[in-house]
């Protein structure tokens, strides 16, 4: 049911699939036109970052907005008072996120392949990609629930979209952190930069990024603690 609700929502679908695909196509076409000098081809550089952007859009922005309005309309309050345990409700939301992310990977991957993407698909690369997606989902979902649990629905809508746009433009999620000059030190420790770099290292070099995965795990732990202490069910 959670997955159906996310897919039926036009705004969620826009964030989950349409915007990442537009960023992928626009980024590759723009890079080829301007002549950006990446270590790999534009499509190989942009695709892992766009997949990371898709995870961020679903696990953070979509989850925060949906949860914020569910609080406003009393949906979560009623579910919390039902026989459904809170752990079951959270498990349903996490499961929905993962299902939507599978759809995103399929759609974005198919578009990228038609544009000449040649990812590293060794067992180590696939395992590193899965680890990055899971830890990235945990980090952004915990932060999304934190935002939704402390702000009103309208404020959550504004804050989630603003943070999403700022991280997409300057958070090193789509472009490598090396493109941001001296800001690399800061961006390496943001969940957006850590997820983007972990995805690029996995799908380009087939490598586990222990440091970046640790950053995501720390953000997931911090977000979980903040959510557990501040989340209000109504």
Query: Quick one: DSSP state of residue 36?
Result: -
The pLDDT tens digits for 124-136 are: 999 999 999 999 9
Nearest CA among 89, 50, 99 for reference residue 67 = 89
The pLDDT tens digits for 89-106 are: 777 777 888 888 898 899
The pLDDT tens digits for 183-234 are: 888 999 999 999 999 999 999 999 898 899 999 999 999 998 998 888 776 6
Structural domain containing residue 152: 2-230
Instruction: Tell me the helix, strand and coil percentages in the chain, rounded to 5.
Output: 80, 0, 20
Looking at the structure of the chain, the number of domains it has is 1
Is this structure's pTM higher than 0.85? yes
């Amino acid at each position: 049911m959670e997955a159906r609700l996310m897919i039926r929502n036009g705004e969620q679908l826009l964030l989950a699939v349409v915007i990442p695909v537009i960023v992928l196509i626009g980024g590759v076409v723009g890079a080829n036109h301007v002549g950006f000098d990446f270590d790999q081809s534009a499509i190989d550089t942009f695709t892992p970052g766009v997949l990371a952007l898709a995870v961020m859009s679903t696990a953070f922005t979509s989850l925060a907005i949906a949860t914020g309005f569910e609080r406003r309309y009393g949906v979560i309050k009623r579910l919390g008072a039902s026989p459904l345990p809170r752990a079951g409700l959270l498990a349903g939301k996490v499961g929905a996120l993962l299902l939507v992310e599978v759809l995103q990977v399929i759609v974005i991957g198919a578009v990228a392949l038609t544009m000449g993407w040649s990812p590293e698909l060794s067992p180590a690369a696939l395992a590193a990609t899965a680890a990055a997606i899971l830890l990235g989902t945990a980090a952004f979902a915990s932060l999304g629930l934190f935002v939704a649990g402390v702000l009103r629905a309208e404020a959550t809508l504004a804050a989630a979209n603003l943070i999403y746009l700022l991280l997409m433009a300057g958070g090193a999620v789509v472009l490598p952190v090396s493109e941001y000059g001296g800001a690399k030190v800061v961006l390496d420790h943001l969940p957006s930069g850590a997820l983007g770099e972990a995805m690029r290292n996995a799908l380009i070099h087939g490598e586990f990024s222990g440091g970046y995965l640790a950053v995501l795990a720390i953000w997931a732990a911090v977000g979980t603690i903040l959510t557990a202490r501040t989340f209000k069910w109504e």
